[in-house]
Amino acid sequence: MQPTINNFKSYCDQWNLTVNLSKTKIIVFGTNTPKQFSFKFGNESIKIISKCMYKYLGVVFASTGSYIHAKIHLIEQANKALFYIDARVQNLDIPFDLIL
């Protein structure tokens, strides 16, 4: 992966783009421990997340590659939205078929 990061660094330098390394993280998927790896962006090290789960743009990623935690999180979010809608609809005089 380091050669790909180096290519990305060259691209950023060519187009005068900056990378916020405080927000840049790496998660290692699989059975390898993150301590076996180190990655650099130029002269700066990129932090490797040691947590087994990481949320990115609302999606939960697990280092094992399993999406069960993502499914559970999406179900929880859907239930919250349904509860919110149900609470609001109860105060309105709307036919049941329209509510569904």
Contacts of 44 (CB under 8 A, 6+ apart): 21
Instruction: Judge whether residue 100 has pLDDT over 90.
Output: no
Instruction: Judge whether residue 11 has pLDDT over 70.
Output: yes
The pLDDT, as a whole number, for residue 75 is 92
Quick: pLDDT tens for 35-85. Answer: 678 899 999 999 887 667 777 787 877 777 777 878 888 899 999 998 888
Whether the CB-CB separation of 24 and 46 falls below 8 Å is answered with yes
pTM, rounded to two decimals: 0.57
Whether the CB-CB separation of 77 and 57 falls below 8 Å is answered with no
Instruction: Judge whether residue 18 has pLDDT over 90.
Output: yes
Q: Which residue has the higher pLDDT, 54 or 2?
A: 2
The pLDDT, as a whole number, for residue 51 is 67
Beta bridge partners of 25: 47
Q: Which two tokens stand for residue 32?
A: 């390898």
CA distance 54 to 88: 33
The pLDDT, as a whole number, for residue 31 is 66
CA distance 6 to 34: 20
